[in-house]
Chains A and B, each alone.
Chain A
Amino acid sequence: MDALTIHRLHFAFTVTFHYIFPQLTMGLALLLVVLKTMALRTGDEHYNRAARFWARIFAINFAMGVVTGIPMEFQFGTNWSRFSKSAGGVIGQTLAMEGVFSFFLESSFLGLFLFGEKKLGPKRHWVAGFLVFLGAWLSGFFIVATDAWMQHPVGYALGPHGDIMLSSFWALMLNPWLFWQYLHNMIGAVVTGAFVMAAVGAFYLLVKRHEQYGRTFVRVGVIAGMASTVLMLFPTGDQQGKNIAFYQPVTLAAMEGLFATEQGAPLALIGQPDVDKRRLDNPIEVPRALSFLTYQRWKAEIKGLDAFPPDRWPDNIPLLYFSYHIMVGLGTIFVAVMLLSAIELWRGRLFAQRKLLWLLMLSVPFPYIANTAGWITAEVGRQPWLIYGLMRTPAGVSPHVSAGNALFTLIGFMGMYTVLAMLFLLLVQHEIEHGPEPA
């Protein structure tokens, strides 16, 4: 393997593992605020115990998110130094703002939220919880703003030595790419939070333990899940797709496996792209649907990959195609699962529907897969660019960090994260086993 491939794998591996945790904490932070609000409004200690239980799960995930997140910021410098040197004046802004505005907020008030319930009293404890939520969602904003700039660079000027200088702060903050990507991403986090909460609730109902809590968890999870899974497809997913069609048409063609430009292009549901022969094998397609979804006209022209020079094609079209299709396919199934559960909940029958509870419980890995696949779509779709249209990926790597040194640390991270994953599962299992009742 050459150094570039290892550096890419290094970032891909560490960021994929990292994002398992923030997607839950960002979603769960919102649901914790919901539980604390219910406790405050009803005065029922039940909701406080429920919130404390989820705060313990939150704390484990938060710790994992922090320790795996620090390497992300450092890797811009360690493995991608040429990129950092050129673009640091721009994306350093958003990354520094994340530290100053969200990490301090989040970490200060998480300490108070976890350790200070008695000292603070119910109202101020609610505020602490809300500020943790605010910090988490601000953090997401600054990270997505950073990525949005790499997807669609705005507000910059080129300096004499090819360095990229910030020329408009507000252009960076109001990047047209940012708004929908942010909402799409954050609602994706709520989907994960909702599924996890519903799954734990379903588990308690199925094993007939902590059933009172199980009902609360399923109810909150299903209602939040119903809302978020729908918002995921429409309008956020839809608008994100339109952004890609407008700003990155070659990425859209690769995501959809559309090799030839067509008027009335079909939407491929299933199929395997064969890049060498430039065709989609074993396709199952909905005729003209892609044109309609993109432009609301059945006969609109969609540019296929043939409309672009191959050196501008994403360099891993099959991975892009599959990750996109996995994301959309799962997203559609989520709506169905949550819709079915919500109807049964509304009719008051959900808690006795063992098959549906099984389905909710077993669904838990899939929102993680869908969120991860979504990010793979975004990042592989940006290739071959590191900054779209501005800097190609090989130009950004650290020139003096050899393949051997990079492989050494990649192996180190793989080992470390394997151990972390096992510990994480052990601890979460331990908390779920222990349950929400005070010891």
Chain B
Amino acid sequence: MMETIWFMLVAVMIAVYVVLDGFDLGAGIVQLLIARTDSERRQVLRTIGPVWDGNEVWLLAGGGTLYFAFPALYASSFSGFYLPLMMVLWLLILRGISIEFRNHIDSVVWKPFWDVVFGGASALLAIFFGAALGNVVRGVPVDDANEFFLPLWTNFGTGREVGILDWYTVLIAVAAFATLMVHGALWVSLKTEDELEQRARKVALAGWWSLLPLTVAITWCSFAIQPRLSQSFAARPWGYVFPLLAVSGLIGMRAMHRRDLAPFLCSSLFIVGMLTSAAFGLFPYVLPSNLDPRLGLTVYNAAAAPYGLKVGLVWFIPGMLLTTCYFVYTYRSFAGKVSLEEER
């Protein structure tokens, strides 16, 4: 029971991370496409400037929570995905310094350089996170000591000798990139005005048309590659609510695309629906093995001892309530469209 509660809490934290930092990453990608002058770039960056760091904390706090609730999963997956994780760290470093450092020096070589670094790092992060999700769904060669190590790629097939990148995980990565690009474009259109807003809307609409076939493709391939998914949905049909969320989000994005907040919320719903569908489909597995269906990490064999999990709830719930207050307060303080006049 405790294991399941913590599984849900960690899943929620990861989903919140992807929704919140997802729009930062998306804004970074979109900035390269729609902002033509320095002032336009600054406007895009200002939509995320006060919040990106707080959004990224969800990754850290989610990682910390994963560490404490499922130490075996944390240990196994972080060491098994060693190389791509290190690259994610480098990309997070580049992204963080590029947005923080760009405005300190006013020069025509300094700012555009960091804008490209920011956009590139954001795009690669979206792709890496997608590939990571693909790996979890496909399964990794977890042995009977619950350990593994994956190279970056082998033969790009999904057999036993897999790498991080194969055709399936690359497909998920492309879908993640498109999802976050649309998500970011919708955020930017929500927070900016005039021409910039119109261009962001165009990117979002074009992105949506790529999202539609990608969603169909990744759904079909995921069910083909990971038999657990169809087993889970067959065993517990109430779980269809999760894919339903994703579908309604996807439809809502298009149906309400002229509105301000609604399409962004629909895009968030789409992301949450896709992630929870995957989590529900794999449960109780958190890292299946592609070698043998009996191996792999589950919420039960990866969880910490019961006492720690119980104590954790006592501080976690008030802590997250506080956090929710901070976020509501921060987002309300920076509510509305950004303008360039109120630079500090």
A96 with B149: CB separation less than 8 A = no
Q: Which residues of B contact A71 (CB under 8 A)?
A: 89, 93
Q: Does A104 belong to the interface (CB within 8 Å)?
A: yes
Chain A interface bracket (under 10, 10 to 19, 20 to 34, 35 or more): 35 or more
B64 with A96: CB separation less than 8 A = yes
Q: Which residues of A contact B308 (CB under 8 A)?
A: 89-90, 92-93, 165-166, 169
Size of the B side of the interface (Cβ < 8 Å), in residues, is: 64
Which of A33-41, A56-64, A318-326 is near enough to bind chain B? A56-64
Name the distance in Å between A301's Cβ and chain B's nearest Cβ.
Answer: 41
Produce 1/0 per residue, B48-85, CB < 8 A to A: 01110110110111111101111110111111101101
Q: Does B40 belong to the interface (CB within 8 Å)?
A: no
A104 with B61: CB separation less than 8 A = yes
- Chain B residue with minimal CB distance to A165? B305
Given A60-B104, A89-B308, A400-B80, is A96 in contact with B68 using a C-beta cutoff of 8 Å?
yes
Produce 1/0 per residue, A76-113, CB < 8 A to B: 11110111111111101101111111011101111110
Q: Which residues of A contact B60 (CB under 8 A)?
A: 70, 73, 99, 103
Q: Does B326 belong to the interface (CB within 8 Å)?
A: yes
A409 with B86: CB separation less than 8 A = yes
- Chain B residue with minimal CB distance to A142? B64
Given A77-B75, A104-B57, is A67 in contact with B304 using a C-beta cutoff of 8 Å?
no
Q: Which residues of A contact B305 (CB under 8 A)?
A: 89, 159, 163, 165-166
B97 with A67: CB separation less than 8 A = yes
B68 with A92: CB separation less than 8 A = yes
B61 with A99: CB separation less than 8 A = yes
Given A100-B319, A409-B83, is A93 in contact with B68 using a C-beta cutoff of 8 Å?
yes
Q: Does A117 belong to the interface (CB within 8 Å)?
A: yes
B61 with A416: CB separation less than 8 A = no
Q: Which residues of A contact B68 (CB under 8 A)?
A: 88-89, 92-93, 95-96
Which of B24-32, B129-137, B228-236, B310-318 is near enough to bind chain A? B310-318
- Chain A residue with minimal CB distance to B320? A100
A104 with B323: CB separation less than 8 A = yes
A115 with B86: CB separation less than 8 A = no
Given A84-B67, A92-B304, A405-B83, is A400 in contact with B149 using a C-beta cutoff of 8 Å?
yes
B79 with A398: CB separation less than 8 A = yes
Cα A167 to Cα B307 with chains together (Å): 7
A74 with B89: CB separation less than 8 A = yes
Cα A86 to Cα B75 with chains together (Å): 9
Q: Does B148 belong to the interface (CB within 8 Å)?
A: yes
B75 with A116: CB separation less than 8 A = no
Q: Does B153 belong to the interface (CB within 8 Å)?
A: no
Q: Which residues of A contact B97 (CB under 8 A)?
A: 63-64, 67, 420, 423
B64 with A99: CB separation less than 8 A = yes
Q: Does B147 belong to the interface (CB within 8 Å)?
A: yes
Q: Which residues of A contact B329 (CB under 8 A)?
A: 108
A101 with B101: CB separation less than 8 A = no
Produce 1/0 per residue, B312-344, CB < 8 A to A: 100110011011001101100110000000101
B79 with A88: CB separation less than 8 A = no
Q: Does A344 belong to the interface (CB within 8 Å)?
A: no
Partner of B67, one of A77, A109, A116: A77
Name the distance in Å between A57's Cβ and chain B's nearest Cβ.
Answer: 11
B82 with A60: CB separation less than 8 A = no
- Chain A residue with minimal CB distance to B106? A439
Name the distance in Å between B113's Cβ and chain A's nearest Cβ.
Answer: 11
- Chain B residue with minimal CB distance to A86? B71
Cα A159 to Cα B301 with chains together (Å): 13
Q: Which residues of A contact B322 (CB under 8 A)?
A: 101, 104-105
- Chain A residue with minimal CB distance to B304? A89
Q: Does A347 belong to the interface (CB within 8 Å)?
A: no
A109 with B74: CB separation less than 8 A = no
Among A89, A112, A159, chain B packs the most CB atoms within 10 A around the CB of A89
Q: Does A349 belong to the interface (CB within 8 Å)?
A: no
Partner of B312, one of A63, A93, A114, A412: A93
Interface residues, chain A, CB within 8 Å of chain B?
Answer: 52, 56, 59-60, 63-64, 66-68, 70-71, 73-74, 76-79, 81-90, 92-93, 95-101, 103-105, 107-112, 114-120, 159, 163, 165-167, 169, 398-402, 405, 408-409, 412, 416, 420, 423, 427, 430-431
Interface residues, chain B, CB within 8 Å of chain A?
Answer: 49-51, 53-54, 56-57, 59-65, 67-72, 74-80, 82-83, 85-86, 89-90, 92-93, 96-97, 100-101, 104-105, 147-149, 304-305, 307-308, 311-312, 315-316, 319-320, 322-323, 326-327, 329-330, 333-334, 342, 344
Q: List 6 A-B contacts (CB under 8 A).
A: A81-B147, A95-B68, A109-B330, A112-B330, A166-B305, A423-B97
